[in-house]
Structures are given as structure tokens and as C-alpha cells.
Amino acid sequence: MKVYTSWTAQSAAFLLVRDLLRSWGCLAFLFAVLPSDRYGAKIGSVLLIILGVKCLIWHTETLISYMRQLPAFYESAAPCYIEDKETDCNLGAFTIGAVSSLYIIMHLWQLPYLAWGLRMPSRATTARMWIGLAALHLTKGATDFAVLLPAMAVKVSQGQNVHVAVILCTLAHGVYGIGMGVLLTSGNFRRWTHFQLISASGSFTAAAGIAAFLGNRSKEKVMELAQQACRYISGDQLTWEDMAGSEPNSKLQALSTSCSLQDIDAFLSHSWHDAAESKWEALQAWRRAFKVQHQREPRLWIDKYCIDQTDIEASLMCLPVFLACCHTLLIIAGSTYFERLWCVEEVFVYLQMRRSVNSIELLPISDDMEERVNRFDVQAAQCVLNSDRQKLLATIEAGCENYRAFNQQVQHAFQVALKRAKWPLTV
């Protein structure tokens, strides 16, 4: 890496083009990795770690090698060499000492930061990969402005010639490094980039959001598992005692019935933190209206009854399929509904499947539901497990331009559903 003394127009242009190509190669991989990718972020982080270790070793060896020449220079005015070329010892000490020290400090921070990210959920790993690459760009920009350009100014002040092309290339390199580094640290830029690339590729479809939710599982395998796991609970099998608490009960699945995907009348979306009595009354009111209209009990998908408690992960993986196939998304929304990310995710997947908002039936059990809809912000929603929260936010980032766009999409769906709601705001 001849960056210290090869200050000719040709070498400066070569370094600029070489580093731009390296940067663009890294960025191409970076942009292709969605937050929901299970392995892409980890592979990218490992590659950055390998590159970082290599650079750390190179800069350390370069710094030590040059510093070993300084005692002879100060004792007997022996010449100093960089890349087999004689150089001003003091200027060389400044450039090599400053550049190598900045890179060494950066890598000593960057490498553990990336390594620790490998233990995190894919969304957090992806964010750390972006920050790790940003640190590399920012360090390069800092060395151009804080070290190389000042060193060139010193050479010019000493009467030596520095070609204007060298200064322009170094300036362009520094501006690019700082600018790209700042952009890479921006979460909004990351989400915008992913959205634009997905849209341009023609992949921004319902399948994109569902694939993200499923964690890149085979669609054929998911459909097979969904058909095997699909169940409904008849309305007359529901009891107040079972619906009152959120604790899982493996015995409840025996009350549900195995069925085909098209047999589910309604997918029930609700928060277990909302008032159980109000939810029960709203559900029973809806059930009575359904029986009047259809002359039979409704067939409901309710997590507590229909999820296989011995294989929860497989059942959750099939949720988008159940949502896509149900005739109605039945939402019982109280004061905590918008605070639970799993609830919001169910609405997100439903909308990603291009299901009409008119097929959403909303039973509001909070007297300030309209106000809650208007101030909804997905970033305020929580999960019991942070790992679940990271995964669910990753699916939203993969399927929406930004959080604001997602908020508006959900708000619109609920505003339409509120206007159509047949139920009082309090039950």
C-alpha cells in the first residue's frame, strides 16, 4: 500500500480508483444483505473481520519497521526509507505514525465490535456490519484530511513539488471517505437503500415481506408445514378461563381441529395484556353475530389453541400462511395492542399479502382507540424477548421504505377499519 511517498499523479489516481472499487465491492455486498437475512450479515461481518485483522497486522508492522530507523537518524543522521525510497525522516514519522496509529486504534475497536455482533440477532449484526464498514471509510477520510494533505503542504513549504492532481485525488478520496462513512452510520439511509434496491429488482411484493418473516425458508417447505399444522378452534369450545390468561397450556390443542388452509374463518389478533373481560365480551358479541349470519359456529385461529406447544418455532413460521388464507383478520384492540410488536407484525404480514383492509374486522375495546391509532409508532412496540423484537423489526425494514411509511400504512388500515367497526368503543 504505497500511500506515503508515492505522490505522483499516476500513483494518486491509481490509489483513488483502487480504493473506490474496493469500497463499491464492499457496499454491493452490504446493500444486498437485508436485516432479515439469517447468514448474510454474519458472513459479511466475518469477511470484514478478516480484512480488519490483515490491515491491523500490516499497519502495525509498517509502524514498527519505520520507527526502528529513527534512532539511527537522530544519532548519526542516517537516511530513512519508506517502501525502499529515501524520505524526510521527520515527515515520514508524522505520516506513518499518524496514519498507522489511526488505523490501529480503529481496528482495535472495530474487530471486537464486529465479533460481538456475530452473537446477536441478524438485524443487530447487519447494523454492526454497516458501522464497521463506516469506521473504515471515516478513518480513511480522516487520514487524508488530518495527515496526508497537511504532509503535502509541508513538502510544498519546503520548496518541493507536489502535483496538483495528487492534491485533488487525495481531496476527492477524503471527501468520499467522510461522506460515505457518515451515510453508512445512518439507519434511515440503510433502510432507504434496502427499499430502493428491493423495488428496483421487482422483488418488492408480498412474497418479499413473507420471506423475510420466515427467515429465508423454502416456500414449498413452509406450505407443507402449514398444511400439516393448520388447525381451528370452534367458537363453542372457547372458555373464559382459557382465554383469561396468557400462560401456554399444551392440553388446549386437543380442543382444536385439524383443517385445510381455506377452512379458517378468522385469524384472531389480540394482546394478552389487554383486559381479558373486555376481550371476552367483544369476542362473544362477534361470535353471536357470526352465528346469525352463517348459521354455524365460527372457526377461529387462536394462538393458544392452535399452536403446537411442543414445536412453537414451526407453528410461528407458518403464521403468514394462516394469515394469508383466513377469510377475516379479526382484531380485538385495547389499550396495549399497539404496544405489542407481535400484534403489529400480524397486521404487517396481512397487509403485505395485499389483503384488502376491508377484510379486517376491528373490535375496539378502548375508548381512545382513534387517538392511539393516530399516535402509533412501531419503534415504541415491544416484545417479551429482545431477540424476537429484533427479528420482527427486521422484517418491517425489509418490507417498508422506512418506519414512517409503515406507521402510515398501519394507521390507514385501522382508520378504515374503525369507520367500518360495528362495535362500540367500549364493551
Give the amino acid at 266: A
Mean pLDDT of 116-143: 89
Instruction: Quote the cell numbers at residue 188.
Output: 434511515
For residues 142-161, give the mean pLDDT.
81
Q: What is the DSSP letter of 86?
A: E
Instruction: Count Cβ atoms below 10 Å from residue 54 Cβ, excluding itself.
Output: 11
The whole-number pLDDT of residue 94 equals 84
Mean pLDDT calculated for residue range 326-340? 90
Closest CA to 190 of 49, 38, 24, 35: 35
Q: Tell whether the model's pLDDT for residue 178 goes beyond 90.
A: yes
Task: Find the helix or strand (DSSP H, E) in which 10 lies.
Answer: helix 9-32
Average pLDDT, the chain: 83
Segment 294-318 mean pLDDT: 82
Q: Please check the confidence at residue 314 and state whether its pLDDT lies above 70.
A: no
Residue 114's closest CA among 136, 141, 84, 144?
A: 136
Instruction: Quick: pLDDT tens for 197-233.
Output: 655 554 444 544 454 455 556 667 777 888 888 899 9
Exposed, middle or buried by CB within 10 Å (0-12, 13-18, 19+), for 14? Answer: middle
- Return the exposure string of 15-28: e unless at least 16 CB atoms fall within 10 Å of the residue's CB, then b: bbeebeeebeebbe
pLDDT at 128 (0 to 100): 92
Q: Report residue 323's pLDDT band, with 50, 70 and 90 as the boundaries.
A: confident
- Residue 266 above 80 pLDDT? yes
- In this model, does residue 119 exceed pLDDT 80? yes
Write out pLDDT tens, residues 346-397.
888 888 777 778 888 999 998 888 899 999 998 888 888 887 788 778 777 7
Which residue type, as a one-letter code, is found at position 9?
Answer: A
Judge whether residue 7 has pLDDT over 70: no
Q: What is the pLDDT of residue 215?
A: 53
- Summarize the confidence of residues 173-182 as an average pLDDT: 95
